[in-house]
Amino acid sequence: MDDPKLGRFEVLAEIGRGAMGIVYKAKDPMLERIVAIKTINMGMDRDGAEMYEKRFYQEARAAGGLNHSNIVTVYDIGKTDTECYMAMEYIEGAELRTLLLPGKPLPVPRALSIAAQVAEGLAYAHERGVVHRDIKPANIMVPESGAVKITDFGIARMRSSSVQTQTGMMMGSPKYMSPEQVIGKRADHRTDIFSLGVILYEMLTGTTPFTGESVNAVMYQIVNFVPPAPSAINPSAPAALDAVVAGMLAKSLEERVQSAAEVARGLRECELQAQGAATTATSTLPLGSLAAGATPTVVDREVKSAVLAQTLERSRRAEDDTPAPDAAPARGLSRTFDSLEATQRLVALSDVALTGDPAAKHPLPLSMQATSTALSGGWRPRDTLVVAAGAVSGLIAAAIIVLL
């Protein structure tokens, strides 16, 4: 960069680059410590720059308000004429994604330690109203020594946040998204638990539980398939760990583990078992979200219907709770209508509302089934009278026009 300083920080080297900005290694001369400086380039269109600047400051507020050994520490934020920057803790280590190689699982004790530390960091954030919403290996730093760190709260949601995401907008990385994120519904703290479950599964087996040749294929599997248990792929994984993973990957929010603290406790118990220590604790987490064999299986239709109905109902409740906007909505349209959400709801209803004929090639939504049933019964007497009256009225009008 032309200017080797950002605010009071002396830039030493570039350590990472992305589409929106650069990460530098820098020195704080006042405190004599090395920091990482994350920047966002503001040289873009005005609307885009404002959106990313708001999200950048939201990340700073989200992470800056958290003081935990497993969450990266934010020291300072600032702005120049061309970019915003954030000074944070510099970590000597690697992103977890660089440690995950296809077909090569991590040693079970190491996988358990990493996942437990991430769960403990998430539990702390969730207790303070911060949901990360983009937990993935690239956002987990594994240092050479010391605690694992959660980074990048760029799309985090806070209870007090004024930066809102559009209803139906997908936030997160496809392979690590939860079912509710896939169908575009509001993500709460249990979304982070699901994403961590995907990461834990990948660390234990050397592959993600939901795979495909395209983003759409991966997202379809997240909603429609359950993966085999980790122990079915990696015999060194303890059986008790299957219960923990199953609870984290449950598609229904009610069946999923309800807190990251509970996940951390379950993983610490498994650590003790893996080390050969005696423990009398037993897991009560659900087992139904994993396949019985060594291959994925299609999710039970009743489970899928419950997931879709649950998220649709949650969305309707959210709409009811949303204060009315100042401007009146377009007549006949919901104030929260957008094409993505409408499409998602139509797909959801079309997929779960099958016709009574099991051989039907094209299942219909419930509303279309009702219409189809009404049409198949022929005209009712009232319909005939209405059409006849209309025809007579037309003839009378034509006669008057001719006479004039």
Per-residue pLDDT at 376 exceeds 80: no
Residue range 261-284, pLDDT digits in tens = 999 999 999 988 877 644 444 444
Burial class (CB in 10 A: 0-12, 13-18, 19+), 247: buried
Residue 172's pLDDT is what? 52
Higher pLDDT, 107 or 328: 107
Q: CA 193 → CA 9, 99, 116, 157, 187, distances in Å?
A: 36, 21, 11, 15, 11
- Structural domains of the chain in order of their starting residue, each with its CATH number: 5-89 (3.30.200.20), 93-312 (1.10.510.10)
Give the catalytic positions in this structure. Answer: 134
Taking CA atoms, 387 is separated from 378, 397, 401, in Å, by 14, 16, 21
Average pLDDT, the chain: 74
Can you tell me the mean pLDDT for 217-227?
Answer: 91
208: its two tokens: 């993600």
* Confidence at 21, pLDDT banded by 50, 70, 90: confident
For range 338-357, the mean pLDDT: 42
Cα separation, 91 vs 79, whole angstroms: 23
- Condensed to tens digits (0 to 9), the pLDDT of residues 115-168 reads 999 999 999 999 988 888 889 999 999 998 889 999 887 545 544 444 344 434
